Each structure stands twice: as structure tokens, then as C-alpha cells.
Amino acid sequence: MQSRYRWIIVAAGGFLGCVAAGTMFSLAVFLQPIAEDTGWSRAAISSAMTINFLCMGAAAFGWGHLTDKVGARPVLICGALLLGTGVVLASRATSLVEFQIVYGVFVGVATGAVFAPVMATVTGWFETQRSLAVSLVSAGMGMAPVTVSPFARWLVSAYDWRTAQLVIGLFAWALMIPAALLVRRPPTLASASSAASARSDMSLRDALRTPQFVVIALTYFCCCATHSGPIFHTVSYALTCGVPAMAAVTIYSVEGLAGLGGRLIFGIAGDRFGAKRALVVGLMIQATAAGAYFFVGRLPEFYAVAIVFGAAYGGVMPLYAVLIRENFSLRIMGGVTGAAVMISALGMAMGPLAGGWIYDSFASYGWLYIGSFGIGWGAVAIALLFRPARKVPALAPA
């Protein structure tokens, strides 16, 4: 029964991630309509996403640690309630500050209640096929660009951005709460010779001081700083290049579809060749593709880069959870994963704000993609420094 139920956990986790990520990243679709309706600058609106990531990161650590204590289900239910509330209130905002607070803080804290608890729970259910399992969960999250974003674009076209956000908030409540009820705490899994098992007595504080965590967290930070700006601003970039609105949104959707394939490819590669090797290759591809956006201007070119870029950033993201699970005890998985997400969220927070500032300052997104290229190769260099925790062999009986 447990063997079969673990795949239900994977499905529920992927679905929850899809709704949460789709709701949060739908702000990219709303960026231009909100700016045109309210007169707020793109940098100011984008800063709501920056606040979003900062709050998500800080909250992820707390939610992850709470998951270690009480399990993921109550955490996910709280996150679902808060997510819908934040989007509904944002749709009624009458000032920029009000919008930034309710969308940035509420949605950010709510999204933080999803990723770290789900990943910590899923990795706890799997001893084998772990990379594939977390990749499938991440693939669910990657469905956001091909589900929630087109839905948001249709709502904006049919009504207005306020009505669209209100509907999305109501859908978040209706879809996430039932899915959260399916999530259970993982059974106790033991592997006497594993590095994670050898560290079973390590405290969360000690774990966060290890070289393994430091390298994982710094790589995660640079990785997210690389792709957050291109993810958030490419729709707007395409619009400035003369691509029609609905076609521009499909670029985001193509990234998402490519990410699904990338997650499966890199998940299988992680199980076969090791998570570190798969991660380094993915980071190399991601950095190169981010820089390639600088040279595109037509829809077919956007599609070509989006396929490579989406496959790369989608493929590498689940591998951080695998590396954490391989090097740390299940007992503190939620806290360690939450801490890594917190640091990565600082990287995610850089892209939206930097892209908005670059466009407002230069009327072009060129320097955004050049910067992403450089930071991406920095992530590769840091990842190459990773060394797994030593495996401690079990003592033979006297």
C-alpha cells in the first residue's frame, strides 16, 4: 500500500505546486495590463514579485521546520487559505503600496508553504527513483505556464485584470485545499550505509553550517538569479519586440512545456549518473540559453530559445532536493530544504526588480540577459565545488 501511495503523494504535490506557482507567476501576465490601467511603473509592479520571493524564502524555512514537527498536510492547508486570500485582496487593491503588500507578502508566504514541505515529504517517501519522483513533482509545478498563465491571459482579455485575479484566487482555494488532504507524512526509511543516515543525529543548526549545505545553497541562489529575470520579463520583452500579446504568452507556455521534458530527462539522468553531474550540465545549458535571449527578436527565435531554456531550468530545480536528501537526515529534511529555498528566493527576488529597473532606465531588456548569462556561469563554478558527505560504513558486530 505504501509503495503505491507514494505516487499519489507525487501527484498531489505536483498539482499543489502547479496551482501555487501558477498563481504567483501569473503576475507576469498581469504586468502590462496593471501598468496601463493604474499608471504604476513596471519596476514598481515587479517589486511586488521581489517582495513575493523574499517573503516566500523567509517563510519556507519556517514552514519547512514546522513540517518536520507536524507533517505537511496542515502546513499545505494553511498555505492554500493564505494564497487565495492574498490574490483576492490584491485584486481589490486601490494603491500601489496596498498591492505590493497583499500580493507580495500574502502570496509569498503562502507559496513558501508549498515547495519546501512538498519536496521534503516526497523525498522521504522514496529510497529508489528519488530523482524521478521529485522531477515529476516539479513537472507538475512546471505545468503552471501552460495552464494558469493562458487562463489568466484569457480572463484579462475577456474581463479585466481585477476580475481575473479575483477568479484565480477563488480557484486557488477550491483546488488546493482538497489536494492538500491527500498528503501524508512519509514512513520511516532507513539506509544504514548512506551519508544521510550517518548524519541522523545532526541538528538543523549544525546541518546549515556544513560545506555541503553552503555549496548547495550558493549554487541554488545563483541558479535562481539566472533564470528569474528571463522567466518574469520575457513576455514583456517579446511585446516590446512587436510580438502579439497572446503569442507572447505562448513563449512562456513553451518554456513550461520544455520544462516538463527537461524535468523527466534530468530526473532520469540524476538517478543514473548522479544528481551533481546532471545539475552541472543543466546549469551550463541554462546559462547559455539565458544569454541567447539577447539575440532574438522574432517569435520563432523566441520559441527556439524558450525550448532550451525551459528544459534546462526546469530540469535542474528538482536536483537540489535530491542532493539535500542524499546528504542530510530525513528528520531535518523540511528545515534544510526550507533554508535552501530561503536562500534561493533571494536569487529569485533579484530578477523581476532588476529587469524592471533595466527596462525603465534603458528602454531595453538587453542587460538583463547579459547579466543572467554571467551569473549562470557563476552557478556552474560553485556547483563544481560540491563534495558529498562521507558515507560511514556500518560497524560489524563484535
pLDDT of residue 391: 59
- Measured CA to CA, the distance from residue 243 to residue 249 in angstroms comes to 10
CA dist 15 and 52 (Å) reads 21
Nearest-angstrom CA–CA distance, 162 and 150: 16
**Phi/psi of residue 28, nearest 5 degrees:** -60, -35
CA 216, 220, 221, 226 torsion-angle sign:
positive
pTM of the model as a whole? 0.74
Give me the pLDDT at residue 196, please: 53
pLDDT at res. 45: 86
CB-based contacts of 162, cutoff 8 Å, min separation 6: 91, 92
Rounded Cα distance between 119 and 336, Å, is 11
Measured from the Cβ of residue 41, the count of other Cβ atoms closer than 10 Å reads 15
Q: Is residue 389 part of a domain?
A: no
Domain total for the chain? 1
Give the domain CATH number at 339.
1.20.1250.20
Q: What is the DSSP letter of 294?
A: G
Residue 298: which domain range? Answer: 2-185+198-383
Residue 192 placed within a domain: no
Give domain status of residue 398, yes or no: no
Mean pLDDT of successive 10-residue segments in the chain (398 residues)?
79 92 86 87 81 86 88 93 94 91 92 88 82 82 78 88 92 94 76 49 85 95 93 87 84 83 87 91 96 92 95 90 85 86 85 83 90 96 88 48
Considering the domain boundaries, does residue 191 fall inside one? no
Is residue 190 one of the residues assigned to a domain?
A: no
Residue 262 domain flag? yes
Cell 524535468 sits on residue: 263
Residue 223 lies in a domain: yes
CA distance 235 to 230: 9
Amino acid at 170: L
- 391 lies in a domain? no
